[in-house]
Amino acid sequence: MTDAATNMRLKLPIICFILQIILIILFATLVQYDHETDAAAWHNGSHTSEYENDFYYRYPSFQDVHVMIFIGFGFLMTFLQRYGFSSVGFNFLVASFALQWATLMQGFFHGMHGGKIHIGVESMINADFCTGSVLISFGAVLGKTSPVQLLVMAIFEVTLFAVNEFVLLSVLGAKDAGGSMTIHTFGAYFGLMVTRILWRPNLDKSKHKNSSVYHSDLFAMIGTIYLWMFWPSFNSAVTAHGDDQHRTAMNTYYSLAACTMATYGMSALTAHDGKLDMVHIQNAALAGGVAAGTAGEMMLTPHGSMIVGFLAGIISVLGYKYLSPILEEKLKIQDTCGVHNLHGMPGVLGAIVGAVTAGVATRDVYGKGMADVFPDVASGDVEASYQGVRQAISLAVTLGIALLGGLIVGFILKLPIFGAPPDTICYEDSIYWEVPEEEEDAHDGQLTVVRTEETEKLNN
């Protein structure tokens, strides 16, 4: 494994240092504390209590989202038997870059004040959201890409994410607080297109590594459960203060619970011999959070949320069972984590639910709260039905930008300079990490590990 092509000795330091120095220069030039994080500005402002600082409204949600990004996504992908270091570790690296870059890109498009990008807790949440989208795409190419490829992907994907988000929220006037479209649909279809372009005809040579072991499945459940628990915070993190945050969290809570019931039922129904399949439990049970991403802040009603989650769970398990094999064989889409089933289809479902729920909104149901959820409808600029049309157009735009973007970025990532692993050593930490080797230690009859030259040779 001393292959020059995959050696990261220079490639990784160069990209890390250059990117970080560029980030520092751009931050120095463009970024300022916002009104609520700047000492002088906040103390000059008029507020009756320190509580009016947005920090107290949003920081607990931010931390929950942060856990989802770094623990949730990171550990969810540790299910592979020998790819745990890379799953958690590359997730960590890519997210650390993406959240800084997203601050700039999102700031360009909707955070400029007098030529400066103003930042605070809400921009931090949005940066984490954008990062989540990149990590979804990472799930599609998991095990088949070098860390340099992932950073290059993040550069472009974050940029396109910000463009798409700007078009949806600012140009089209759509609502998508929990990101069924902007985060999940975008990240999934972008990643699927990238993995399609990166198709590896000889990937079956690494096939025996593309599966789980007992303990790796338990590590993955840490990721699953954290994502599941904190999804109510995710969907409500940037909704309006008051009833909106409250309602969004609760809708998501019930959507997820119903989704879990559907997932267990469908898994036993479709899996081998009536036994539950960990792949379904780890992934499909989360589809309810994805599908409540757009409509969660609306008056979806608790039972409406449950129906959405229930359908999302069913669709997602069916996708894992029947659609993924077809995508791989017929369309040459090697989707390691099945992001199409967890983020793609449930994201589209969520977008549709959002369009319908927006289309049927009435003043009776929303009262003065209409101004928070659908400001253009409240102001009389548009009818509710037209808001629904906006939402539907937004889905189409998202799919278009994601697929086109993924196509271009996929070809960029094919350039043979980024240290991609060969087909024979995919899903394998030891190509990019120093991995301790296991060896029978005669002294105490237990499995212990020592790094010996022999085992290193064996691997080479």
**Which residues contact residue 401 at a Cβ distance below 8 angstroms, ignoring those fewer than 6 apart?**
160, 163, 164, 167, 186
Interface pick for a copy of itself out of 168, 188, 203, 256 (rule CB under 8 A): 256
Q: What is the CA radius of gyration of the chain?
A: 23
Residue of 128, 234, 242 lying closest to 176 (CA atoms)? 234
Give the range of 164-172, 197-205, 360-368, 404-412 binding a copy of itself by CB under 8 A.
Answer: 360-368
Classify the C-alpha dihedral 64-66-70-72 as positive or negative: positive
Tell me, residue by residue from 148 to 187, as one string, x for binding to a copy of itself by CB under 8 A and - for no binding.
----------------------------------------
Kindly state the tokens that stand for 195. Answer: 């993995």
Interface pick for a copy of itself out of 211, 331, 381, 417 (rule CB under 8 A): 211
Give the range of 181-189, 269-277, 318-326, 410-418 binding a copy of itself by CB under 8 A.
Answer: 269-277
User: If binding is defined by CB under 8 A, does position 258 make contact with a copy of itself?
Assistant: yes
Residue 348 or 431: the one with the smaller Cβ distance to a copy of itself is: 431
Interface pick for a copy of itself out of 218, 393, 404, 412 (rule CB under 8 A): 218
Residue of 143, 158, 23, 183 lying closest to 94 (CA atoms)? 158
Residue 125 or 168: the one with the smaller Cβ distance to a copy of itself is: 125
Q: How far apart are CA 165 and CA 70, in angstroms?
A: 22
Interface pick for a copy of itself out of 82, 110, 116, 414 (rule CB under 8 A): 82
Q: How far apart are CA 217 and CA 212, in angstroms?
A: 6
Question: Can you spell out the DSSP letters for 102-118?
Answer: HHHHHHHHH-EETTEEE
User: If binding is defined by CB under 8 A, does position 28 make contact with a copy of itself?
Assistant: yes
Q: How far apart are CA 45 and CA 257, in angstroms?
A: 43
Residue 243 or 393: the one with the smaller Cβ distance to a copy of itself is: 243
CB of 287 to a copy of itself, least distance (A): 13
Residue 167 or 286: the one with the smaller Cβ distance to a copy of itself is: 286
User: If binding is defined by CB under 8 A, does position 245 make contact with a copy of itself?
Assistant: yes
SS3 446: strand
CB of 105 to a copy of itself, least distance (A): 15
User: If binding is defined by CB under 8 A, does position 2 make contact with a copy of itself?
Assistant: yes
User: If binding is defined by CB under 8 A, does position 370 make contact with a copy of itself?
Assistant: yes
Interface pick for a copy of itself out of 165, 176, 244, 335 (rule CB under 8 A): 244
Residue 12 or 403: the one with the smaller Cβ distance to a copy of itself is: 12
Other CB atoms within a 10 A radius of the CB of residue 198 amount to 18
Q: How far apart are CA 307 and CA 241, in angstroms?
A: 26
User: If binding is defined by CB under 8 A, does position 114 make contact with a copy of itself?
Assistant: no
Four-point Cα dihedral 161, 328, 325, 207, nearest 10: -110
